[in-house]
Structure 1
Amino acid sequence: MKTNVGTIDRVIRILLGLLLIGLSLTGTIGLWGWIGVVPLATGVMRFCPLYPLLGISTCSK
């Protein structure tokens, strides 16, 4: 897997993922908040499987 998620994109994904999971754990939003695992995982791994399909890369390399 080639890195395709840049620094700013990575920070936003991780924060959004943690926010959604946290809101789900507190009961503020329903179980659908666990979808936050997806942006969290793509931010941590620095790879988004959808980006190559769309020809996008936010990584400066």
Structure 2
Amino acid sequence: MSTNVGTIDRILRAALGVGLLYIAFLGGLPAFDGALLKYGAGIVGAVMLIVAATRVCPIYSIFGIKTCRV
């Protein structure tokens, strides 16, 4: 698969991923006491970090979107 995630998109995804993981597991917010929301946010955060690290987004590939320069 070719890269389809640009630099700004990558930075935003990494920040969102770290933020979601922090809120889910270290934030201590009462909304994240339930398992569904806690682990859901954790999974989404981990996926965001993986996409930021690999620069390949499967959803972008399906729709033919590229935010990176060629």
TM-score, normalization by structure 1: 0.89
Kindly state the Cα deviation for residue 33 of structure 1 after the two structures are TM-superposed: 1.7
Structure number with bigger Rg: 2
Report how many aligned residue pairs link the two structures: 61
Deviation readout 1:2-52 (Å, 9 max, x if unpaired)? 110000000000000000001111232323220211111101110001111
Q: Which residue of 1 aligns with 2:19?
A: 19
Q: CA RMSD in A?
A: 1.1
Identity percentage of aligned residues: 41
Alignment of 1:25-36 (within 5 A): 25-26=25-26, 27-28=28-29, 29=32, 30-34=38-42, 35-36=44-45
TM-score, length-scaled by structure 2: 0.79
Correspondence for 1:52: 61
